[in-house]
Amino acid sequence: MERVLRDRTAAVIFLGPALVIYVCILLIPIGWSIGYTFFSGSPISGFTFAGFQNYATLVQDRRFWDAFWFSTRYAIFVTGGQIGLGLALALFYHFYLKRSSALIRTLVFFPVVLPTVAVAAIFQKLFAIAPQYGVVNAVFDLIGLHSLVQPWLGRGQTAFWVLVIMDVWRAMGFYAVILYAGLIEIPAETIEAARLDGASGWALAQLVILPLLMPITISALIFSLNGTLKVFDSVVALTGGGPGNATTPLTLYMYRAAFTNNAYGYGSTIAVMLTLYCLIVSLLAYRFARRDV
């Protein structure tokens, strides 16, 4: 095997097709998108060279910064919920349910495989106010909390929290499985030794389990942050970016700029900035991992 790996011809034969596909599908489109940022127009109207005008427009674009702030808040709260609840579920599976956790793990994981449109339809019904109350408003009305009965998806602040709840609920089972896989890899002897030394409950989790689980937690954190910063389908399916532009993330703003307003250059500029943002966040998380893991 070692001799095969040292053979350059064999390496080209095995890696060549994959590299060609990688370059054609990923690197060329990225370069093409970066090139578009220096032009204005569309394939229909034609392109004209604009230099750095798209970048200058973006810096002064209030809607871009609103979308940027929404994406950042959304990523912080959803990632915190996904990782936090996923970790709690993983600990519950491993230390309380143990071998009988298979059914519960399957049920909690089930929303992950549901189509986003189906999940959004469920939450639209749950938080509906017309033509009849959804479950949430019906419960508040039943127990006398009439002040909390409201159009949850018709107001920017409440629509944001419904989005957060929906995506945390939908993905926490996925991160629970990832973190559970890391938990079962921790040697039982290590945990037993800590218990013999007097560690139990929160002390055991804080001083032994969480430090040993940190590498997989950091990986899950990076994965979740990148996914939430690039959220698109959940927003489109549940709120459509509304009310107004209150729940419009960078991805949806980019889509509208490029394909609704036919400003391919400006849409590509937003895409490049989003890519850089995700890259910076990932690098910061990676540096944190290298320092503390």
Query: Which domain covers residue 124, as residue numbers?
Result: 61-292
Q: Mean per-residue pLDDT for 263-288?
A: 91
Residues of the chain above pLDDT 90, percent: 57
Q: Mean per-residue pLDDT for 91-114?
A: 87
Residue 85 lies in a domain: yes
What long-range pairs does 182-187 form, CB within 8 A, spacing at least 24?
182/90, 182/213, 182/215, 182/216, 182/217, 183/90, 183/91, 183/93, 183/94, 183/209, 183/213, 184/94, 186/212, 186/213
Residues of the chain above pLDDT 70, percent: 95
pLDDT at 239: 94
Q: With a cut of 70, say whether residue 280 has pLDDT above it.
A: yes
Q: Mean per-residue pLDDT for 64-75?
A: 96
Residue 266 lies in a domain: yes
pLDDT at 272: 94
Task: Report the CATH number at residue 96.
Answer: 1.10.3720.10
Residue 86 lies in a domain: yes
Residue 157 lies in a domain: yes
- Number of structural domains, the chain? 1
Residue 21 lies in a domain: no
pLDDT at 1: 53
Q: Mean per-residue pLDDT for 75-86?
A: 96
Residue 30 lies in a domain: no
pTM of the model: 0.89
Residue 32 lies in a domain: no
Residue 1 lies in a domain: no
